[in-house]
A and B are shown apart, each in its own frame.
Chain A
Amino acid sequence: EPEVTQTPSHQVTQMGQEVILRCVPISNHLYFYWYRQILGQKVEFLVSFYNNEISEKSEIFDDQFSVERPDGSNFTLKIRSTKLEDSAMYFCASIRSLGGTEAFFGQGTRLTVV
């Protein structure tokens, strides 16, 4: 069964460093998303991506964040200068089309900023 894959599963980084989280969405899906979940809190939307550009972003997704689809399969989230409060689980998701199709999530990357 097709699945969304994320790497790495866990990343520890020092405050101020740049990190890149990687995702491979399901191959015939067109819309890609990043969400995050701070420990003990709700899963929150960060950004959506379609046709090689951002289609929507939340207020959390400020200038320190960026997304990219560098090739036909990978979808990345970059955090330029990490802060302690960026420590969270980051999930990638994809859907085939708009209008009510099922969302599939990866297993997540646990980011710990020290």
Chain B
Amino acid sequence: KQEVTQIPAALSVPEGENLVLNCSFTDSAIYNLQWFRQDPGKGLTSLLLIQSSQREQTSGRLNASLDKSSGRSTLYIAASQPGDSATYLCAVPDQTGANNLFFGTGTRLTVIP
């Protein structure tokens, strides 16, 4: 069974800093990897989907990389802002069956003004 791990569990940075969030997964046979943002008590907002054939995907100040062979992905956030404060989750789909997602426990990011 796929296991997804995220480190660190929490991160606090001053505004303007660049930062990296890490995600690792145990089974490298994945279709894709998806990064989500979750605000407290709220739903999951999709940030980036990176396909298994891609190494990077960018959206604005966000850049996700994927190294399938080592079972790792990183989410890079440039020039962090207080509005980026949230929990960031990564998830990979089950290759078999109905592609349900396996989630990591998330990284809780706080950007200090």
Contacts and interface: CB of A to CB of B under 8 A. Distances in A.
Interface of A: 6, 31, 33, 35, 41-45, 48, 50, 55-56, 58, 89, 91, 93, 95, 98-100, 102-108, 110
A100 B93 contact: yes
A54 to B, nearest CB: 9
B89 interface: yes
Interface in B66-113: 89, 91, 93, 97-106
Given A33-B101, A56-B98, A105-B43, 10 more contacts: A6-B43, A42-B103, A42-B106, A43-B44, A43-B103, A48-B99, A56-B100, A105-B44, A106-B43, A108-B43
Contacts, number: 69
Contacts of A56: 97-98, 100
A45 B104 CA distance: 12
A103 B32 CA distance: 11
B49 interface: yes
A55 B97 contact: yes
A102 B34 contact: yes
7 contacts: A6-B43, A31-B99, A55-B97, A100-B99, A107-B42, A108-B44, A110-B41
Contacts of A102: 34, 46, 49
A106 B51 CA distance: 22
